[in-house]
Structures are given as structure tokens and as C-alpha cells.
Structure 1
Amino acid sequence: MKNLIVCAIALFTSLAVSAQAEIKFDEETIDYGTIEYGSDGVRSFTFTNVGDEPLVISDVKSTCGCTVPEKPKDPIAPGKTGVIKVKYDTKRPGPIRKTVTVYANVDNSPIPLKIKGTINKKDTRSVLEK
């Protein structure tokens, strides 16, 4: 019986310290600041696999169609970095407050990432007035 208990504890301990992927983002919120109507809406979330197994980003979803995320196609090896690109439609003036959700083979999945900022109104003055 003692041997069975010792084996069970050893098995549980080995499972608890098993290899896994871990993700660490340089930043989890990107602030666009105040940008011009129609300007470049692409920003990047850089991350590192700080675990000891390949990191697989299975999906990245946004809260609306105005935000289009792009995930890495291949697994990210331990110690390597990757990028999730996010393109926001900058032809929507006003405040930006959106969430992009990352699904990966990590314990804390899904991971929410945020973008924020403000887009100025379209400049409607004619070229001659400028």
C-alpha cells in the first residue's frame, strides 16, 4: 500500500512539473494615441514563448469587424518571439476601445489583449482652404 501511495505521489508530481508552453507579451494594451482619420491602423503585439514546449496560437478573435487580427501560422519555439498583428479600421472616427482574444496552448488561455485610442474626424476642408 505504501508503494502504491509513493507511486501515485511521484506520478502526480511529475505531471505537475511537466513541460509546457508559456506566453509573455511585451505589452497587453496598445495605445494608438490620437491618430488621423484613414491613417495606418496596423499595430503589433510582440510576445515570447518563455516555456519549454512549442507555443501554438490556435486562434485570435476580435470583438468586432472593425478590428482584424493576424496570428502566427507556425508554432513558436521555446525562447523565441512572435507577433500578433492587429489592424483597426481608422475610417471610424471617435474613441477606440477593443479587445482581441488569444487562444493558445497555455494555462492562462484565453488571453485578452486591448487596443485603445482616438481617431480624429475626417478633415472635410477643401484642398484650396488648406
Structure 2
Amino acid sequence: MRKTFVCILFGIAFSFFNCSNEGKKEDEKQASSKMPVFALLDSASFDFGTIQEGAVVEHDFKFKNEGEYPLILSNISSSCGCTTPEWPKEPIGPNETSSIKVRFDSKNKVGPQVKTITVYANTEPANTELRLKGIVNAAPKPATGK
């Protein structure tokens, strides 16, 4: 009789615990669905092809905030000083589009190149990676006259 009573109490406690967790999960799901969403309109990678050393390549990564709250890009960093990002400093409202301009200077960069640009925002996950890639051919050497 005592074992049965303990089992019933345990069952009731477990069902209350399970119900309270379901409510928390539902609250978390609702909160995350309302967060800003950084959605790229094109690819996260841009192949600039083959260029001559010294050329500067620019590309706009277009994106949209598909969340319910304003999207704030807090910082953007690049894997190399030769790659410079420009981004909007003001919040991007729900369903608004904008872009991140990335400029790659190929001076003193010869051969295959892959540059990573990390976007930090108030999203889940908190960062997104973009890539520029291509090949830089060496600039021709000036002819020496004898």
C-alpha cells in the first residue's frame, strides 16, 4: 500500500514537472521565433574569379531581416586587413533588406585567396560567416633594359 502511494505521488510530481517544461519550451520557441533573423538573399560565398595582383574587388552581400524585431549588426570582422567591410549602423526593421559591402585589396596577395567575414548580430546564432574567394595572378614584372 505504501509503495503504491509513493508511486502515485511520484507519477503526479512527474506529470507536473513535464507540464511545466512543455510550457518553458513553448515560451522559448515563441521568443526565438520573434528574434531578428539574418537571412542572406544570395549566397554566403562570392567567387570573384581570377584577377591581377593590385586589383580591388567589391561585393555586396544582400540580406533581409526575416524576424519580428529590429536586426542590429553590432560588429563585422574580417580574417585579413586586406578585406574591409562596410555595414549599416542603424537597426534593420522586420522584413527590411540591406547589404554589407566587402572590399578586397589584392595588393601583395598572390595565388588562391579565401577571406572570411564574420557578422555579429542580435540573432541566434549570434554570428554568420561570409566568404570571398578567388585567384590572384602575380603582376607582370617590369622589363629591365640592358
Q: Is the TM-score greater than 0.5?
A: yes
The alpha carbon displacement at 1:117 in A equals 0.1
User: Which residue matches 1:61?
Assistant: 77
Amino acid at match of 1:65: G
Whole-angstrom distance in 2 between the partners of 1:114 and 1:62? 9
Unaligned runs of 5+ in 1: none
Q: Higher Cα Rg: structure 1 or 2?
A: 2
The alpha carbon displacement at 1:87 in A equals 1.1
Equivalent runs, 1:91-110 vs 2, <5 Å: 91=107, 92-110=109-127
Of residues 34, 39, 46 in structure 2, which corresponds to 1:24? 39
Q: Give the 4+ runs in structure 1 shifted more than 4 A.
A: 4-12
Equivalent runs, 1:9-48 vs 2, <5 Å: 10=23, 12-18=25-31, 19-25=34-40, 26-48=42-64
Whole-angstrom distance in 1 between the partners of 2:38 and 2:127? 11
The alpha carbon displacement at 1:31 in A equals 0.4
Whole-angstrom distance in 2 between the partners of 1:75 and 1:14? 25
Residue 27 of structure 2: SS of its match in structure 1? helix
Amino acid at match of 2:139: K
Residue 115 of structure 2: SS of its match in structure 1? strand
User: Which residue matches 2:129?
Assistant: 112
Per-residue displacement from partner, 1:10-35 (whole Å, max 9, x unpaired)? Answer: 46523420221001112100101111
Unaligned runs of 5+ in 2: 1-12
Whole-angstrom distance in 1 between the partners of 2:90 and 2:70? 10
RMSD: 2.3
How many residues align structurally? 125
Greater alpha carbon shift after TM alignment, 24-33 vs 90-99: 90-99
Amino acid at match of 2:91: P
Q: TM-score, normalised by structure 1?
A: 0.82
Of residues 104, 120, 123 in structure 2, which corresponds to 1:88? 104
